[in-house]
Amino acid sequence: MDALKKRRLSLMKRLVTLIFIIVILWASSLGTEVSISSLMDGLPGMGSLFLEMLPPDWSYFSYVTEPMLETIRMAVIGTTYGAIVAIPFALLSSRNVVKWPVIYFPFRFVMNLIRTIPELLLAALFVPVLGIGDNAGIMALSVFSFGVIAKLAYESIEAIDNGPLEAMTAVGANKIQWIFYGVVPQVIASFVSYTLYCFEINVRAAAILGYVGAGGIGLYLNNTLKLFQYQRVSTIIIYTLIVVVIIDMISNKCREKLI
Amino acid sequence: MNETIRKKQTIRRIKIWTSVVIVALIYIWAFSGMPKMEFKPSAVQAIKAIFSGLIHPDWDYFYDPEGEDLLRTLLETLCIAILGTFISSILCVPFAFWAARNMNKYRFISSSGKFVLSVIRVFPELILALLFIAAVGTGPFAGILALGFHSIGMLGKLFGESIEDMDFSSSEALKSCGANKIQTLWFAIVPQVMPSFVSFTLYRFELSVRAATILGIVGAGGIGAPLIFALQGHKWDRVGMILIGIIVMVTIIDYISSTIRKRIV
């Protein structure tokens, strides 16, 4: 009897969840005026757009190589800045390094706040401050990677083995020694791995930052799109895809070796 | 014996030094080409304006009974993320089975599936949104389609990996008791992959909410368009209001979604 009741209850729960999801989906499709018919009408237009993109303008490759390198450069520098700033923040926001919640809660709060803003919005904010160009992109990527790396790093600091730390405290190490010889050796591999991971994300992000004027290849993408030079657009897209796939591959190999 | 150990050590040392040199070269290349960071007086002004906008946001924009306001555009952003995630969570299933190693007889089939997924994954949402705008016109629907397509890459990969990690003992047990294909799927495979599937979908939803906030920059609906207009018009109080709105919305969504995810797994 009891089992039957339980089963009925769980069935009810599932039903309620299902209805809830359907209502949400229905409401949001009403709110955004989804129409399958407009998709069907638009598909030929999309097809012709694809045809216009073919064949890619191969001669454009050499022309966009310089902005492509600039994009990678932005990602490298941005990730590095972010990673450097992330180190003290990660230490200060982990529970086992700083014992007082008064300190680690505000740091975590700041990090959470930063992570809610997408990098393109950060770039759009930095463009009026630093002017159009690479610098705005670099700063946007730095702030963004700072948020990501600091969060992942403090989580891995909190997960470290307590044994060596206690041993060091027992033999009278001060806080700096404690961090250098107890914490750092345990987290350095995962920290580098997170930095590489963030670098992968940043390369992708850097490729579109130019759209809001923050340097890199996105600027060329924007210009060619505005001038309806779709063959060049496809060149840029293909180039970006190739670079991103290669960087992902190298970075993945490195990360596998690290851990 | 001693020789081999020494050899190994030298090889290790060479490896470490080459990687150090490579990293150093990359950094020299990167920093040598960097433009100078210089603060113009206008930069300080802009920073001041942004912060004063954040402190004194334009509350009138929060709710406006007629016309565009923050609440309505934020809701639209949320709807784009919800529907985009929903589309991709359905479309990713066949891709996941295609890319799962233990579901295909031949290795090249699953590798090709993985390759297709990674190509989808590296295609930026913004470019996809531009393509879909060409098809269905500007508006949130293009954003939904762009997010739906882009998310297939990540969801398909994660879901395919969880299929690869699946334990087949229960489905074999069911089969040996005489269950048919649909029954084994329903009672053995679905209960096993469902929790991780829901959790991945929720995680993707969190990312999609963030992505949806920028889709408006190209005209694909959501909060991005009013934000970029406010930025271009230097209406800092409105920028501050929109930023606060985005931060609050993303934080709430993250909190709800991570609570549900913790309960599932």
C-alpha to C-alpha distance for A129 and B49, rounded to whole angstroms: 10
Q: What is the pLDDT of residue B67?
A: 66
Average pLDDT over residues A14-35: 82
Within 8 A of A127 by CB-CB distance, chain B residues are: 231
What is the percent of chain B with per-residue pLDDT over 70, rounded to a whole number?
96
Q: What is the CATH number of domain B57-264?
A: 1.10.3720.10
Within 8 A of B40 by CB-CB distance, chain A residues are: 131
Q: Do B127 and A237 touch (CB under 8 A)?
A: yes
Domain ranges of chain A: 68-258
Q: Could you give the 3-state DSSP secondary structure of residue A180?
A: helix
Domain A68-258 of CATH type 1.10.3720.10: yes
**Who wins on pLDDT, A258 or B161?**
B161
Q: Is B109 on the interface with A (CB under 8 A)?
A: no
Report whether pLDDT(B128) > 70.
Answer: yes
Q: Do B37 and A248 touch (CB under 8 A)?
A: no
CA distance, residue B193 to nearest chain A CA (Å)? 17
Within 8 A of A221 by CB-CB distance, chain B residues are: 127
Chain length of chain B: 265
List of residues 6+ apart from A155 with CB closer than 8 A: none
DSSP one-letter code for B60 = G
DSSP one-letter code for B33 = T
Tokens 């064949």 locate to: A55
DSSP one-letter code for A98 = S
Instruction: Confirm whether the ipTM is greater than 0.85.
Output: no
Within 8 A of B130 by CB-CB distance, chain A residues are: 225
Which of A29, A42, A124 is opposite residue B135, by nearest beta carbon?
Answer: A42
CA distance, residue A245 to nearest chain B CA (Å)? 8
Tokens of A60: 């454009």
Which of A38, A121, A138 is opposite residue B141, by nearest beta carbon?
Answer: A38
A50 closest CA partner among A188, A223, A238, A255:
A238
A217 closest CA partner among A228, A206, A227, A225:
A206
Q: Do B34 and A35 touch (CB under 8 A)?
A: no
Average pLDDT over residues A169-198: 86
**Who wins on pLDDT, B37 or A51?**
A51
Direct distance between the N- and C-terminal alpha carbons of chain A, in angstroms, rounded to an integer: 52
Q: Do B243 and A121 touch (CB under 8 A)?
A: yes
C-alpha to C-alpha distance for B135 and B114, rounded to whole angstroms: 27
Chain length of chain A: 259
A148 closest CA partner among A209, A202, A96:
A202
A78 closest CA partner among A203, A220, A243, A211:
A203
